[in-house]
Amino acid sequence: MAAVAHYVEVDAPVQACYDWWRPLTRLPEIFSDVKSVEAVAGGEPRTRWKVDGPAGTMVEWEARVVEDAAPHKIAWTTVDDADPDVKNSGVVRFDDKGNGRTGVEIALDYEPPAGKLGEAVASLLADPQKKVERAAAEFKTVIEAR
């Protein structure tokens, strides 16, 4: 499984940062390849993710929140019974730095499948570290503009 992470400090209170991230549905605002994250109806809180794939394809999966420690941590992972195109998990941690500042760490782990789809996903994720860094910078811009 590959892993990427990035840390950024923002001029926003920890609760505001947590509240922005918690529904996960806002992630397309900061991750350019993520086209949608929608809540899935049912007993267990799940989200359906749609991400731009290679050659105009769409890569999809369902995920569930596995840890919600408000306002300090949100972690999610793909749901195996939903047969994800890409197994992955993520966590965002919020560290209250005082004076209305928050340290935000975004960490993602992913395991593309083998075969042609795996090759295609690998090309899509050509530089996942840069994508996480851009997402952190976008989050900083969005949360500080509030």
CATH code of the domain containing 64: 3.30.530.20
Going through 11-112 in order, the beta strands assigned E by DSSP cover 34-40, 46-52, 58-69, 73-78, 87-98, 101-111
Task: Please state the φ and ψ torsions of residue 44, each to the nearest 5 degrees.
Answer: -95, 135
Return mean pLDDT, the chain. Answer: 88
CA 131 – CA 106 distance, rounded (Å): 11
| Whether the bond into 71 is cis, omega within 30 of 0 | yes
How many independent structural domains does the chain possess? 1
pLDDT, mean of residues 8-37 = 97
Range of the domain at 125: 2-144
pLDDT digits (tens, 9 = 90+) for 16-27: 999 999 999 999
Predicted confidence band of residue 130 (pLDDT cuts 50, 70, 90):
very high
pLDDT digits (tens, 9 = 90+) for 74-121: 999 999 776 666 788 999 999 999 999 999 999 999 876 665 555 555
